[in-house]
C-alpha cells in the first residue's frame, strides 16, 4: 500500500494554538485544570477523524488513551506512540524574543513553551494519524496513542495507562516516546547528522538531606550548625561521587558513529566502542554531557532552613536530584550517598525514585522499523542508539514491553535543544512536516 503523499496544511497554526494553552502541570494550583481541558477540547476540534474512528479513554484527570483497531495481521502486540501535553513553568524575568505562551509564527519557526517539549512531538503523531485516516488507511496492527498531562510532575497519568494496559494483558510490540532527535555533529569530531534514538534512560531519584542543631541567637553560634552540617554533606557529594561506567548502549553508539566519521577519529571511535572501561574514564574526564552519559549524577537543587537573619535554625535541609546510570539501582545510590556524606546526624530520605531502564535491542524488527521510517522522512540519516539522561513517561512501560525507544522525529540544533525548559523554545515548521512524515511512514510500514 502506498504512502499518503499529501499532508493537510496548517500544522504550524495548530501547534501555535496548542502553545497558547498554558498547560503548566507544576502550576496546577494557580492555573487550575481549565487549560488542560481546553487542550482536550482543542484536539477534538482539530482532529475530527482521530476522535471519530479511534476509541478514547480518560485515565486519571490527565491521561488520554486513543485506540486504533488494526487489521489484525499480527498477534505480537500493538504500537504505542507516546507524548505529553503539559509543559514546565516560565520564569517571567527571562527575556523571551516572543511571549512564551503566544505561539508566535515567525520566519518559518513556531515559538513558545512546549514547541519541542512536548507539544511539537505530540502534534506530529496526531497529524500523521489524521492524514492516514483521511485516506481510509487501517494499520496492520493495533495502535495506541498515549498522551499524558503531567509528565513534568512525574507522570502519574502515563503510569496509570501502563498499568491498565498491563492489567488487560496488552504487551506493546513497540513503544516510542520523546527523547532523542535528529542532530548535527552528534559528537564534536563526528560530521553529518544522526537520529539519536534512546534505547534506555537513566533512573531518577530525589533525596532530602536533613540535619538538626541547637537553635538560638546567631551572635554565639556553635562550631557546626544545622545549616553548616547540611552544607558540608552537600559539598561531599561532588561530581565524583559515583564511579563512571559505560553501558552497552554507549559502545553501540560509538561503533555506529564511527561508520560516518572519516580519518583517525573513526579508529578512535571504534576503539572506544569496544573498550567500555577506557570510554568511561575518557567521558568522565570530559565532564558535562559526556560525563553524564557514563555515571550517576548528583545535583543539589534546593536548600532551606531558618526563619530570620539573626536566628540559628534548629533544622536545615537540602534537596538532591540524582540521575541513576544504567546498570545501577536506586538502593545502591542511596547507600553510596550515605557513605560519602559520612555523617550519621544527617538524615537521608528518599522522596521519590524510579529505577533506570533496561536497554532495548537494536538488532530487532522494531529498531529496523524506526530506521525504515527515518529513510522515508530523513533520507541518509542513520539511526544511532544512545542513553537518554532525562526521564520520560515511557519508563512506565519498559518493565513489561520488550522494545521501548525514546525519539522525537524533529530536527533540533544545539541552540534549540538548549531552549528546552529554557528561553525561546522553538521548532521549525519544516521539522514538524518531516516529523509527521516519520510517524506516517512508521504506522504505514507496521505490516
pLDDT 10s digits, 280-309:
999 999 998 889 999 999 999 999 998 899
Residue-wise burial string across 210-229, b where 16 or more C-beta atoms lie within 10 A, e elsewhere? bbebeeeeeeeeeeebbbeb
- The pTM score is 0.92
Q: Is 54 strand, coil or helix?
A: coil
**What is the distance between the terminal CA atoms of the chain, rounded to a whole angstrom?**
10
Residue 86's contacts (CB-CB under 8 Å, 6 or more residues apart) are: 23, 24, 25, 36, 62, 148, 149, 150, 151, 152, 153
Residue pair 322/297 in contact by the 8 Å Cβ criterion: yes
CATH number of 11-200+358-444, picked from 4.10.140.10, 2.60.40.290, 3.30.1330.20, 3.40.630.10: 3.40.630.10
Q: Is 336 strand, coil or helix?
A: helix
DSSP 38: H
Residue 2, pLDDT above cutoff 50:
no
- What would the mean pLDDT of 235-253 be, rounded to a whole number? 95
pLDDT 10s digits, 365-391:
999 999 999 999 999 999 999 999 988
Round to whole Å and give the CA distance between 205 and 73. Answer: 41
Domain positions in the chain: 11-200+358-444, 203-354
Cell numbers for 89: 513553568
Which residue, chain included where needed, has cell 567500555? 276
Residue pair 123/7 in contact by the 8 Å Cβ criterion: no
Residue 232's contacts (CB-CB under 8 Å, 6 or more residues apart) are: 224, 343
Round to whole Å and give the CA distance between 435 and 392. Answer: 19
Reported confidence tier of residue 3, pLDDT bands at 50, 70, 90: very low
Round to whole Å and give the CA distance between 34 and 304. Answer: 33
pLDDT at residue 5, rounded to an integer: 54
Instruction: Return phi, psi of residue 360, to 5°.
Output: -80, 145
pLDDT at residue 55, rounded to an integer: 98
Torsion, Cα of 323, 326, 330, 334 (10° steps): -70
Burial of 421 (0-12, 13-18, 19+ CB in 10 A): middle
**Sign of the dihedral defined by the CA atoms of residues 388, 199, 416, 273, in that order:** positive
203-354 belongs to CATH 3.30.70.360: yes
pLDDT at residue 4, rounded to an integer: 47
**Sign of the dihedral defined by the CA atoms of residues 159, 121, 103, 39, in that order:** negative
**Sign of the dihedral defined by the CA atoms of residues 175, 380, 247, 204, in that order:** negative
* Strand residues in 74-186 grouped as ranges (E): 79-84, 105-106, 109-111, 143-148, 174-184
Which residue, chain included where needed, has cell 556553635? 222
Q: Is 375 strand, coil or helix?
A: helix
pLDDT 10s digits, 25-76:
999 999 999 999 999 999 999 999 999 999 999 999 999 999 999 999 888 9
Round to whole Å and give the CA distance between 230 and 215. Answer: 15
> Please, what is the average pLDDT of the chain?
95
Reported confidence tier of residue 1, pLDDT bands at 50, 70, 90: very low
Round to whole Å and give the CA distance between 402 and 233. Answer: 40
Round to whole Å and give the CA distance between 359 and 404. Answer: 8
How much of the chain, in percent, has pLDDT values that exceed 70? 99
Round to whole Å and give the CA distance between 181 and 390. Answer: 14
Cα dist. 317→208, 214, 337 in Å?
Answer: 7, 15, 15
Residue 14, pLDDT above cutoff 80:
yes
Residue-wise burial string across 110-121, b where 16 or more C-beta atoms lie within 10 A, e elsewhere? bbbbbbbbbbbb
Amino acid at each position: 500500500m502506498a504512502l499518503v503523499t499529501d499532508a493537510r496544511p496548517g500544522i504550524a497554526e495548530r501547534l501555535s494554538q496548542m502553545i497558547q494553552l498554558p498547560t503548566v502541570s507544576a502550576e496546577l494550583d494557580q492555573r487550575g485544570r481549565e487549560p488542560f481541558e481546553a487542550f482536550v477540547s482543542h484536539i477534538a476540534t482539530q482532529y475530527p477523524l482521530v476522535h471519530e474512528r479511534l476509541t478514547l479513554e480518560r485515565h486519571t484527570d490527565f491521561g488520554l488513551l486513543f485506540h486504533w483497531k488494526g487489521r489484525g495481521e499480527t498477534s505480537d502486540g500493538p504500537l504505542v506512540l507516546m507524548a505529553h501535553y503539559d509543559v514546565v513553568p516560565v520564569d517571567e524575568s527571562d527575556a523571551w524574543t516572543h511571549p512564551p505562551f503566544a505561539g508566535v509564527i515567525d520566519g518559518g519557526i513556531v515559538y513558545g513553551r512546549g514547541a519541542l517539549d512536548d507539544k511539537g512531538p505530540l502534534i506530529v503523531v496526531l497529524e500523521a494519524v489524521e492524514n492516514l485516516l483521511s485516506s481510509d488507511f487501517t494499520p496492520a496492527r493495533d495502535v495506541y496513542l498515549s498522551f499524558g498531562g503531567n509528565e513534568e510532575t512525574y507522570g502519574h497519568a502515563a503510569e496509570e495507562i501502563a498499568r491498565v494496559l498491563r492489567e488487560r494483558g496488552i504487551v506493546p510490540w513497540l513503544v516510542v516516546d520523546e527523547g532523542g532527535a535528529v542532530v548535527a555533529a552528534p559528537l564534536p569530531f563526528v560530521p553529518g547528522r544522526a537520529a539519536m534514538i534512546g534505547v534506555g534512560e537513566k533512573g531518577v531519584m530525589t533525596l532530602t538531606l536533613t540535619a538538626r542543631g541547637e537553635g538560638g541567637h546567631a551572635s554565639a553560634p556553635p562550631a557546626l550548625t544545622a545549616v553548616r552540617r547540611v552544607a558540608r554533606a552537600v559539598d561531599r557529594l561532588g561530581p565524583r561521587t559515583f564511579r563512571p561506567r559505560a553501558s552497552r548502549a554507549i559502545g553501540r553508539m560509538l561503533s555506529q558513529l564511527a561508520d560516518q566519521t572519516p580519518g583517525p577519529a573513526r579508529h578512535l571511535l571504534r576503539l572506544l566502542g569496544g573498550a567500555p572501561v577506557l570510554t568511561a574514564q575518557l567521558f568522565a574526564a570530559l565532564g558535562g554531557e559526556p560525563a553524564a552519559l557514563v555515571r550517576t549524577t548528583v545535583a543539589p537543587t534546593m536548600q532551606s532552613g531558618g526563619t530570620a537573619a539573626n536566628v540559628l535554625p534548629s533544622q536545615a535541609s537540602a534537596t538532591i536530584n540524582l540521575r541513576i546510570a544504567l546498570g545501577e539501582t536506586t538502593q545502591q545510590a542511596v547507600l553510596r550517598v550515605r557513605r560519602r556524606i559520612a555523617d550519621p546526624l544527617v538524615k537521608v530520605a528518599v522522596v521519590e525514585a524510579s529505577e533506570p531502564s533496561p536497554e532495548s535491542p537494536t538488532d530487532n524488527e522494531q529498531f529496523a522499523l524506526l530506521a525504515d521510517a527515518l529513510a522515508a522522512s530523513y533520507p541518509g540519516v542513520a539511526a544511532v542508539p544512545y542513553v537518554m539522561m532525562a526521564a520520560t513517561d515511557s519508563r512506565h512501560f519498559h518493565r513489561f514491553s520488550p522494545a521501548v525507544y525514546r525519539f522525537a522525529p524533529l530536527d533540533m540544533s544545539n541552540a534549540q535543544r538548549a531552549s528546552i525548559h529554557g528561553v525561546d523554545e522553538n521548532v521549525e515548521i519544516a521539522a514538524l512536516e518531516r516529523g509527521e512524515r516519520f510517524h506516517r511512514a512508521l504506522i504505514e510500514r507496521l505490516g
